[in-house]
Structure 1
Amino acid sequence: MTDHAQIKASVTTDNAQIIDRALGRIVAGYVFPQRAEEVDRAIRARLAAGAYDALGGAALCEAVTAHLQEVCPDRHLRLLWQDEPQSTEPEDDDTGRAAFLALLREQNQGIRRVEQLDGNIGFLDIRWIADAGEGARAIGAAMELVAHTRALILDLRECRGGSPAGAAMWCSYFFPDDQVHLNDFYRRATDSTRQFWTLPQLPAPRYLGRPVYVLTSATTFSGGEDVAYTLRALGRAELVGETTRGGAHPTDRHPVTAHITVTVPTSRTINAVTGSNWEGVGVRPDRAEAADKALETAHQEAIRSLS
């Protein structure tokens, strides 16, 4: 066997092992077992046909991810490449949560900017949805600063995800009490459903009786979509901007190699009003607008509505 043939055979074997491990995690954990079996058959067929023989690294991850989502259009179902090596030991819940909380501390609990716009319109730029525990004080501080504005704009155009409980906390500020059912999360591993309701106590005044606008873009994802979808479904906010990315399923991460991780949606969101969610279709705005024009449009609309 020539050196080139030996290298090709080695890559093919390595890729088969990577894909086999990733598919094992998907079949064992994906929230829809039947769809997981369909994904498994489709990817193994491509593997057998040599679709991945010439690929490696990030290119392999991109190709497999595209094929996973072709069979099952779930934006959280992915094979991810990291340049920096990672531990291949299974990550327990505490470790994953600690890493997430550390990220949020570095990112000011996801709150990038708080501002008072012309016309006494409040503006909050939110990049991550913080944990409802550690993030409560920061969320409360932001809401305290806009408590006396005439209308509020929540900018989720660069919000890439976060905590479901944190999303429920953000939403709680816009309702009068703890009697509003927001959504449910069904988890396959335990065959259980967790309900999320508005919270009875908050560290800052609730924002009631005034207009709320939510800005969205094609970047808005996961936890950011949760806030946008929930507030619109309950008739509490007007959405301005672009249709979001469409990731509604809470996800676990599993190392496959030192550089590759498979992300597996293990739960699904069920909105209390619609009985559905935004997976694969995104959250559609009430008023379609280019992302870079959405703030101006919402600000003008807020001033007009209050005149």
Structure 2
Amino acid sequence: MTTATKILPTPVIDETVRLLTEHYVFPEIAEQLTGLLRARLTDGAYDVDDAEELARLVTEDLQSLNGDRHLRLKHHAEPVSPKEGEATLAAIRGDFDTSLGGAPRVQLLDGGVVVVELAPMLFPLDWAAEPLGAALTLASRARALIIDLRTNRGGDPDTVAFVCSHLLDERTHLNTMHWRGGERREQSWSQPHVPGPRFGGSKPLYVLTSESSFSAAEELAYDLQQLGRAVIVGERTRGGAHPCRGWTVHPHLEATIPFGRAVNPVSGTNWEGTGVRPDVPCTAAEALDRAHELALARLAD
């Protein structure tokens, strides 16, 4: 159930401003946003009846300067843990348990083409390695593979690397994270070994996307596209490339703030704001049939 009493916005805004100042990957934008939030607070724009409405208003303002879709004030119907990141983990655990660990469908289509749906998230790797490894091992015998990310809303970059490791033959540089301040960087590479046979780097591979595909799902599609490993089929994705963390600022509110930016080693940039552009544009509803047709034609050749 949602909160019924009127929320006091000042402590929420004060804590959100503090977190922006300390953590947001773009300090100059953080400074502008803190001024905006304080001005809106003074003007009474946040004098609302409940936490859900406050979350909506603050999120609109947070995203108003540079459109960063990871920069949010998230509402949780149930009270959440005050520990950093615990609110997000608690919210997604139920999704993990009801989606077979993030691989709800492995399906054999005509012609030896297999579909593996990864949804609704790429869950933390310590949760997801076993179920995703099982699904990808089962799919490794396919003549062609379709990875369905149309309903995937993001997740863990380590899980992106784990999936890529099953789809490549050699250890490969996938991405570099540039943390706030620009001095510290962290590279992401595919793994040299996987727990079982891999689909590998030579057989036909297609990735399905939609306008709902987001964050880590976009990274998976983008990494494979930039490497020339996969054909992206479907719609342009939402465009969120900044890794973020969550901090509880009220029993029902979590501020998610990006603290880094992704840089692809091939393109030298990322998909922030632009989304991943499909190689074969079509509606999300048509994407599976279109990819299957492309796979069958490639195999016939």
TM-score by length of 1: 0.88
Alignment partner of 1:25 out of 19, 26, 38: 19
User: Equivalents in 1 of 2:178, 2:116: separation in Å?
Assistant: 30
Match of 1:5 in 2: none
Alignment partner of 2:73 out of 67, 79, 93: 79
Match of 2:64 in 1: 70
Match of 2:111 in 1: 119
Matched, 1:181 2:181: no
Match of 2:96 in 1: 104
Are 1:29 and 1:189, in contact at CA under 8 Å, matched by a contact in 2? no
Partner SS state of residue 184, structure 1: strand
Residue correspondence of structure 1 range 209-288 to structure 2 within 5 A: 209-288=202-281
Alignment partner of 1:40 out of 34, 37, 54: 34
Q: CA deviation at 1:193?
A: 1.4
Are 2:102 and 2:132, in contact at CA under 8 Å, matched by a contact in 1? no
User: Equivalents in 1 of 2:232, 2:42: separation in Å?
Assistant: 46
Q: Rg bigger for which structure?
A: 1
Aligned AA for 2:99? Q
Q: CA deviation at 1:149?
A: 1.5
C-alpha spacing 1:28/1:301, structure 2 compared with 1 (3 Å): same
Tell me the percent identity.
40
Match of 1:293 in 2: 286
Q: CA deviation at 1:60?
A: 1.6
Alignment coverage as a number of residue pairs: 294
Partner SS state of residue 104, structure 2: strand
User: Equivalents in 1 of 2:9, 2:127: separation in Å?
Assistant: 40
**Structure 1, 141-150 or 113-122: larger mean CA deviation:** 141-150
Post-superposition Cα deviations, 1:111-165, rounded to whole Å, max 9, x if no partner, equal 0100110111011010121333443332222122222221110000011112111
Q: CA RMSD in A?
A: 2.3
C-alpha spacing 1:153/1:288, structure 2 compared with 1 (3 Å): same
Post-superposition Cα deviations, 1:191-238, rounded to whole Å, max 9, x if no partner, equal 521111121111122223211110001111111111001000111001
C-alpha spacing 1:100/1:184, structure 2 compared with 1 (3 Å): farther
User: Equivalents in 1 of 2:175, 2:51: separation in Å?
Assistant: 38
Q: CA deviation at 1:81?
A: 1.2
Post-superposition Cα deviations, 1:64-121, rounded to whole Å, max 9, x if no partner, equal 111111113111100111121223x33378x976876775355322101001101110
Are 1:238 and 1:286, in contact at CA under 8 Å, matched by a contact in 2? yes
C-alpha spacing 1:64/1:92, structure 2 compared with 1 (3 Å): closer
Match of 1:160 in 2: 153
Partner SS state of residue 195, structure 1: strand
Q: CA deviation at 1:280?
A: 2.0
Partner SS state of residue 110, structure 1: coil
Post-superposition Cα deviations, 1:229-259, rounded to whole Å, max 9, x if no partner, equal 1000111001111111112111111111111
C-alpha spacing 1:133/1:38, structure 2 compared with 1 (3 Å): same
User: Equivalents in 2 of 1:131, 1:110: separation in Å?
Assistant: 10
C-alpha spacing 1:36/1:223, structure 2 compared with 1 (3 Å): same
Aligned AA for 1:203? P
Match of 1:4 in 2: none
User: Equivalents in 2 of 1:190, 1:97: separation in Å?
Assistant: 28
User: Equivalents in 1 of 2:132, 2:254: separation in Å?
Assistant: 31
C-alpha spacing 1:82/1:201, structure 2 compared with 1 (3 Å): same
Q: CA deviation at 1:58?
A: 1.3
C-alpha spacing 1:99/1:64, structure 2 compared with 1 (3 Å): closer
C-alpha spacing 1:262/1:274, structure 2 compared with 1 (3 Å): same
User: Equivalents in 1 of 2:179, 2:157: separation in Å?
Assistant: 13
Alignment partner of 2:52 out of 58, 70, 76: 58
Aligned AA for 2:118? I
TM-score by length of 2: 0.90
C-alpha spacing 1:204/1:115, structure 2 compared with 1 (3 Å): same
Aligned AA for 1:36? A
Aligned AA for 1:29? H
Are 1:68 and 1:78, in contact at CA under 8 Å, matched by a contact in 2? yes
Are 1:120 and 1:149, in contact at CA under 8 Å, matched by a contact in 2? yes
